[in-house]
Structure 1
Amino acid sequence: MKQLVALLCFAFSSQSHFSQNIVVQDKLSPEDLVNLVLANTPCASVSNISAASGNFGDGSLSYGFFDRNGADFPFENGVVLSTGRASSSVGPNDSVLSETASGWVGDSDLEDALGVRNTTNATILEFDFTPIANRISFDYIFASEEYNSPRPCDFSDGFAFLLKRAGVDEPFQNLAVVPNTNIPVKVTTVHPDFPGAFGCPAENEQFFDRLNSVSSPINFNGQTVALTASATVIPNVTYHIKLVIADEGNALFDSAIFLGGGSFSIDTDLGPDRTALNGNALCQGDNLVLDADLGIPATFQWFQDGVPLSGETSNTLTVTDTGVYAVEVDLGSGCLSFGDVSIEFIPPPIVNDAQLIQCDENGDGLTIYNLSQAIQDIILDDQTLTVTGFFLTQTDAENNVNPIGNPNNFSNTTLNQLVYARVMSSLGCDTTAQVSLQISTTTANDAVLEACDDDGNEDGFHAFNLSNADSQVRNGLPAGLSVR
């Protein structure tokens, strides 16, 4: 990067003292943009670099190098690809960009990836690379004039980061998608609420940064947050990547991709984050084996929450506690590959032991129970919990084997028998609850109520409060019975 700074310092020096906008240099070769700016890493070899730009007739290109220049922009520097002149990306945001050039065509690979037709003004930067780790990633921002166009909900320029194995007849994979989806990032898929007759509700708004004012350091009406494109790759296999953006339908309302300088990273893939927010957290008592093996000689150091784990220098790590786990993989020749993953272990659901009381018609201590009547008492009305079955032993409940076949018509075999419910949370963690099966006798005690006939008329009649006999009737019977 020092070589690049030296190359550009003269070009930018006249602007850096006065401007709060980004600056753009569109005179660098595609090789310099890739090797010095984007993919300056010892963890991959890069070849077959090429680019396509509009021919503006004045020497301007639709791709170039940008520098933050002290402005309020997320990336310090990087590569910009635009559907107009790259130099027109410089702020302030005081004009509507709708630039074009004679004979500037679209791109069929982009159209296939996005399922669109009639693209025009395509800017392309593409190259082959051979990684020595198993994951690539780079950071980008999408900016567009169409965020403040008359129909922002209906029209959007398109862009894609297209990846496939070099020399292999296979479809491209588009890496420029809304996180955790296969939805391409566009004005129509990442935006705030647009009011008015041609408006629409916000969509994926958490990935939209802002609608830009006139004082914006870039000359586009809106932009996303900094997003990360990533893919799993096979070490030592050559891939082809094509970074492309184009207008759709016509040349009105330009757009651009800003690629973070030095963000083309060759990483070690440890798998997806396992968190409650993602719906795939682990349960307390489980364990997870993280595997950083790349199939080539390497040394390893594992970390938990940024702290090196003493003695953990193999290619795998077994985790049992919540934390952010990372690995540093030294592949030699100056290549250090890093990987990290968030792992969350959640406690079992909170449940309650329950009791069912059923009448015993013949007094033998055996009767029929509907075990499902205990469910609400077990889950404490927590509708995120589900009773998945009833079992004769706690061991069977814990192992989820030999469930009771018809829990709604269960005959106990012993007096005061215990059965067990297996309870599952919405996150997939389970626990057990005990259900006590109690017998209610069908016989009751006789009761005697006595009172003096002292109402002035000794006729043998008197008013009695029959509830005064309840305690005599229930004497010696199971608790919880009522007299009606």
Structure 2
Amino acid sequence: MLNKKYTFLLILLILFSELLHSQIVTTSARNQLPQNLITSVLAGRGVLMSNGQFNWSSGNISTDQIGTFTNGPNFTNFPFSSGIIMTTGHISVAEGPNDQTNAYMNVTQSTAIRDPDLQALVAASLRSTTVLEFDFIASSSSFEFEYVFASEEYPEYVCSQYNDVFGFFLTGLDPVTMVTTTKNIAVIPNSVSATYPNGMPVAINSLNSGVSGSSFSGSDCISLDNSSYYNDNQPGNPYIQFDGYTTALPAGASVIPCETYHMKISIANVNDNTYDSGVFLKASSFNSPEFEVNENYTIPGSSQLIEGCNDLELEIKISSPAVSDVRIDLTISGTATEGVDYETLPATVYILQGDTNVFIPITTLIDDITEGVETIIIDANMSICGITFSKTIELEIIDHTPIILASYDLPVCHVCTTLSAQVLQSSPGLPLTFHWTPNDLLDDSTAQTTSTYITESTILTVMASDSLGCTSNLATINVIVYEAPDPQFTYTPERGCAPFDVHFVSNTDPPGAALFWDFGNGETSTEENPVVTYRADGDYTVSLTATVGQNCSRTFTIQDAITQGEYPYADFTFHPGNPVNGEAVSFVNLSSGNNIISYFWDFGDGHTS
């Protein structure tokens, strides 16, 4: 029985522990200095805060109206994990569960303390008031922080005289008018109007569920149109007591960099000290934009430096023009070697007065060494208005073999039907895409080899890019289209009896074409008008090839141009058939054949004719 009791107590302890780690938990700032609270909890980047006061005193806080809060992981509907809480009563009233409809915890303080700026926002009298104020300097032309307003006045007293109110009052030089003003920046987003030129103040009667409460008074209602910024907290919710609270709201304004401004954060009950309200300030959210770094690569959309291909213009940018020259010190480290893998970087750069940025070129160098991924680490440090900023920039360099294409002349005869880009080198394993110009002459302007039909001399260019986005040089292909020559020739004689000479004459167009003769007898010539001796009887086919450019040729052939001559047949008779010595003999020429031009007789006795 005893063991069961211990087990039951253990379960209760576990459940209680989980509840504590899941709800809003508050810690009073009593006996702390206001300055320590704002610098250690509220301050973020780009601001200097000073002269912190709580309820008009810079001394130790003497009430429980202000402190810090934490939020457990289970309360996901609440936007902040920690920060400062200010309430009209004791801050512990914020802690869940939501088991009361009118929770409040009075604190000991002089009710005579009132905030005139806050009083100006409502007609009814202020009661318990909580005020946190400080001076600050912003490094840029704007600042912003985030907050949540919560109240037990929700939802019963929406549109009633019990309109608990708060304000964030900024005092300082207006950057447009250059006049010192005080304005409330705790306003509903996108609510600027003629009635509310700075925006509608956040209050019970202006930001709510959109439904009037049970204590409705028409004259007190400001707006029921801002329910998108409101969260209703149902009874029994274990995380927070307040019956309603806003979404995370921004508060901020334009300011003059390095100028001192005063911020007053004030919240008060209206008409009575019951139904407490509170404001939650997100931790580290009071910021003025710090500098940003933009990496502008040669290849848009890439994220790495590539040797010989993808360089970088590093932009260091502040949000508003510098009021004086801003010095930025750069400390360089990493596995890449400065001056070997990339060009040497400066140790110091400046954003000049009136400018908002400075550019640092980072140029890679080709070392033809396979090194894998190397890094460049840049630590950038600057000071604006006495506020220091630092940022570490890490870049990567990868190896790459540059793509090199060859330029060349391409002589063709009459028409060009194929073009090919000649790749001299590229990175292994990276597919290439080609870019031909003009592309309307090609079947595929992205292929290395493509079909075409070019009939006139044309200059084309081609580039290649690999899968990393790296591009090659621009190569030029000079397509030289030659008209095919017209080889013609004459010759004389056309026939003969070996051996005999034949005279050839070229009539080729164009006259300057290179000539090559084939005479059909094993002899050739490159002369324009050659003479050839045919030494054997036979029929011979003669061809003449004319060439222009490197490969534009045409051949003219005459079959059996030279033919064997027809030999004459020599014959004769004489009378008498058997002459005797001293008798006269008559000879009759019986020879036959065409074109016989001469005869020669030999009578055997030394006489000829």
Normalization by structure 1: what TM-score? 0.51
**Which residue number in structure 2 is paired with residue 79 of structure 1?**
84
Compared CA separation, residues 92 and 118, structure 1 to 2 (3 A):
same
**Which residue number in structure 2 is paired with residue 25 of structure 1?**
27
Report whether the alignment pairs 1:108 with 2:115.
Answer: yes
**Which residue number in structure 2 is paired with residue 119 of structure 1?**
126
Per-residue CA deviation, residues 4-32 of structure 1 (Å, 9 max, x unaligned), is: xxxxxxxxxx9864422111110343223
Report whether the alignment pairs 1:244 with 2:246.
Answer: no
Candidates 278, 281, 294, aligned match of 1:256: 278
Candidates 332, 346, 356, aligned match of 1:315: 356
Compared CA separation, residues 60 and 242, structure 1 to 2 (3 A):
closer
- Equivalent residue of 1:186, what SS? coil
Per-residue CA deviation, residues 202-249 of structure 1 (Å, 9 max, x unaligned), is: 321121122343214221000010000011111111111111100112
**Which residue number in structure 1 is paired with residue 257 of structure 2?**
235
Candidates 80, 94, 99, aligned match of 1:94: 99
Cα pair 2:65 2:86 within 8 Å, conserved: yes
Q: What is the alpha-carbon distance in structure 1 between the residues aligned to residue 327 and residue 249 of structure 2?
A: 30
Cα pair 2:155 2:213 within 8 Å, conserved: no
Cα pair 1:147 1:211 within 8 Å, conserved: no
- Equivalent residue of 1:33, what SS? helix
- Equivalent residue of 1:148, what SS? coil
Report whether the alignment pairs 1:191 with 2:201.
Answer: no
- Equivalent residue of 1:265, what SS? coil
Ranges in structure 1 where 5+ consecutive residues have no aligned partner: 1-13, 271-289, 301-312, 318-328, 338-484
Candidates 274, 287, 296, aligned match of 2:324: 296
- Equivalent residue of 1:121, what SS? strand
Name the Cα RMSD after superposition: 3.7
Determine which structure has the larger helix proportion and give its number: 1
Q: What is the alpha-carbon distance in structure 2 between the residues aligned to residue 298 and residue 330 of structure 1?
A: 10
Ranges in structure 2 where 5+ consecutive residues have no aligned partner: 1-14, 193-198, 293-317, 329-350, 359-379, 392-609
C-alpha displacement at 1:195, in angstroms? 5.7
Report whether the alignment pairs 1:52 with 2:55.
Answer: yes
Letter in 2 for 1:77: S
Structure-to-structure mapping, 1:234-383, within 5 angstroms: 234-267=256-289, 292-298=320-326, 315=356, 331-332=382-383, 334-335=388-389
C-alpha displacement at 1:169, in angstroms? 9.4
Q: What is the alpha-carbon distance in structure 2 between the residues aligned to residue 130 and residue 162 of structure 1?
A: 15
**Which residue number in structure 2 is paired with residue 149 of structure 1?**
156
**Which residue number in structure 2 is paired with residue 38 of structure 1?**
42
Greater CA radius of gyration, 1 or 2? 2
Compared CA separation, residues 115 and 69, structure 1 to 2 (3 A):
same
Q: What is the alpha-carbon distance in structure 2 between the residues aligned to residue 86 and residue 65 of structure 1?
A: 9
**Which residue number in structure 1 is paired with residue 229 of structure 2?**
207
Report whether the alignment pairs 1:176 with 2:194.
Answer: no
- Equivalent residue of 1:209, what SS? strand
- Equivalent residue of 2:258, what SS? coil
Identity of aligned residues (%): 28
Cα pair 1:268 1:292 within 8 Å, conserved: no
Q: What is the alpha-carbon distance in structure 1 between the residues aligned to residue 238 and residue 205 of structure 2?
A: 22
- Equivalent residue of 2:54, what SS? strand
Moved more, 123-132 or 188-197: 188-197
C-alpha displacement at 1:51, in angstroms? 0.7
Per-residue CA deviation, residues 286-325 of structure 1 (Å, 9 max, x unaligned), is: xxxx97323233489xxxxxxxxxxxx97379xxxxxxxx
Letter in 2 for 1:33: L
Candidates 63, 69, 89, aligned match of 1:66: 69
C-alpha displacement at 1:253, in angstroms? 1.2
Normalization by structure 2: what TM-score? 0.41
Cα pair 1:135 1:268 within 8 Å, conserved: no
C-alpha displacement at 1:63, in angstroms? 0.3
Per-residue CA deviation, residues 244-267 of structure 1 (Å, 9 max, x unaligned), is: 100112112110000000000112
Structure-to-structure mapping, 1:387-426, within 5 angstroms: none
Letter in 2 for 1:235: P
Per-residue CA deviation, residues 90-133 of structure 1 (Å, 9 max, x unaligned), is: 11111222333453335233335414352111111111112221
Compared CA separation, residues 196 and 291, structure 1 to 2 (3 A):
closer
**Which residue number in structure 1 is paired with residue 482 of structure 2?**
none
**Which residue number in structure 2 is paired with residue 397 of structure 1?**
none
Letter in 1 for 2:40: L
Runs of 4+ in 1 over 6 A off after TM superposition: none
Cα pair 2:140 2:319 within 8 Å, conserved: no
**Which residue number in structure 2 is paired with residue 390 of structure 1?**
none
Cα pair 1:78 1:260 within 8 Å, conserved: yes
C-alpha displacement at 1:185, in angstroms? 0.3
Q: How many residues are treated as equivalent by the alignment?
A: 278
Compared CA separation, residues 196 and 334, structure 1 to 2 (3 A):
closer
